[in-house]
Amino acid sequence: MSEKRWARRPEGSNWGEFGPDDQRGRLNLLTPERVLRAVAEVRVGRVFCLSLPLDRPGGNYHDLQRRPPELRPVVRGGQMKYNLRARPDHPDVFSDDSVHLFNQFSSHWDALAHVGSMFDGDGDGVPEVRYYNGYRGGREIGATDDAFTGACALGIDQMAVVGVQGRGVMIDLHSTFGSERRLVGYDDLMRVCEKDEVAVEEGDMVCLHTGQAAALLAEGRNPDRATLENAFCHLDGCDPLLLRWIDASGIVALAADNFAVEAVPPSAAASGRAYEGLHELCLFKLGIHLGELWHLSELNHWLRDHRRSRFLLTAPPLRLPGAVGSPVTPVATV
């Protein structure tokens, strides 16, 4: 049963427009008609993996304390279940393992529960923790007891059940601006789209190629600090024209091959305003999922060689209830 979660919503948000209990945001625009539109982009049947190996990139970007996966064998009856011959009178050999996984270390999706804001949703003059569509902190978004159970609403599992299949559109920032650090605003983005004849329509999933993931992969487990934090293109989350375009374009998701899609630190930081303005707009206000550290270079090169920018994108996260992010192995079909 629906409940009234808010008396007022943030300026520029779409809270309530997909229903009072909606937890999927702009993914609601991935209609069957738009999936069919995306399938029509498949012409040669070639498939591209858009994920980094999940133990990459190396380094510790901005000291986020995210760590690569740790694989461990399952223990059964006091024996490691790895190359284990469990029954001496049968030839079968078994291996099972487990993984300690940081969901946002490598190629991943951010769930709508990843970023909220202090916002006075009930109009009593006191800001409280709120997330997309007015969901509150505490028990509604995650456990308040000693036992942490994750997000009770807006978890990545809400994205997984949609399937996340639709038309991807590549915008190649690297071909125009190269590998130097650059904060890309609306004017820069439109310049690239016009030069490369890229059209973005409602229901599309936009992928931004900067070249950073490929560079990090090439540098191995110990990339230099410049490659980690002081190179490549990042969207300018402080550019109001860019934020307005993201809203007006009707895109359902935004992914990049850099660490945060937007520039961190931002071009301008003001007290009382969101530090990561694009994350606030997408995850908190509009319900647009963000993909980070995707491996886009091979696909981008192929698209450029064939004078194309559109493809079928299939990118469901793990159906992990309560998680605020998830590793993803996106697949592009052209």
pLDDT tens per residue, range 76-120 = 888 899 999 989 999 999 999 999 999 999 999 999 999 999 999
Q: Is the pLDDT of residue 199 over 60?
A: yes
Do the domain assignments include residue 4?
Answer: no
Which contacts of 229-233 are long-range, i.e. CB under 8 A and separated by 24 or more positions? 229/61, 229/62, 230/181, 231/179, 231/180, 231/181, 232/174, 232/179, 232/180, 232/181, 232/182, 232/258, 233/173, 233/174, 233/177, 233/181, 233/182, 233/183, 233/184, 233/208, 233/258
Instruction: Assign 1 a pLDDT band (cuts: 50, 70, 90).
Output: very low
C-alpha distances in angstroms, 240 versus 187, 198, 232, 281, 296? 11, 21, 21, 11, 27
| Co-location of 181 and 116 in the same domain | yes
Measured distance CA(222)–CA(281) in Å, rounded? 33
CATH number for position 317: 3.50.30.50
Q: How many domains does the chain have?
A: 2
3-state DSSP assignment of residue 305:
helix
Instruction: Assign 226 a pLDDT band (cuts: 50, 70, 90).
Output: confident
> Which residue is it, tokens 């490598």?
106
| Co-location of 229 and 243 in the same domain | yes
On whether the CB atoms of residues 51 and 317 are closer than 8 A, the answer is no
| Co-location of 56 and 176 in the same domain | yes
Average pLDDT of the residues in 214-224: 93
3-state DSSP assignment of residue 118:
strand
AA letter at 252: V
pLDDT at 53: 96
Parent domain of 74: 68-100
Ranges 34-38, 54-58, 169-173: which has the least confidence: 54-58
Instruction: Assign 314 a pLDDT band (cuts: 50, 70, 90).
Output: very high
AA letter at 327: P
| Co-location of 91 and 200 in the same domain | no
pLDDT at 2: 58
As to burial, measured by CB atoms within 10 angstroms (0-12 exposed, 13-18 middle, 19+ buried), residue 249 is middle
| Co-location of 298 and 163 in the same domain | yes
| Co-location of 77 and 216 in the same domain | no
pLDDT at 316: 98
Do the domain assignments include residue 11?
Answer: no
Q: Which of 43, 14, 26, 27 is nearest to 332 (CA)?
A: 43
| Co-location of 220 and 310 in the same domain | yes
| Co-location of 30 and 91 in the same domain | no
| Co-location of 151 and 245 in the same domain | yes
First-to-last alpha carbon distance for the chain, in angstroms, is 42
| Co-location of 89 and 185 in the same domain | no
Percentage of residues of the chain with pLDDT beyond 90: 83
DSSP structural state of residue 2: -
Q: Give the tokens for residue 333.
A: 């079909």
Q: Give the tokens for residue 215.
A: 């560079």
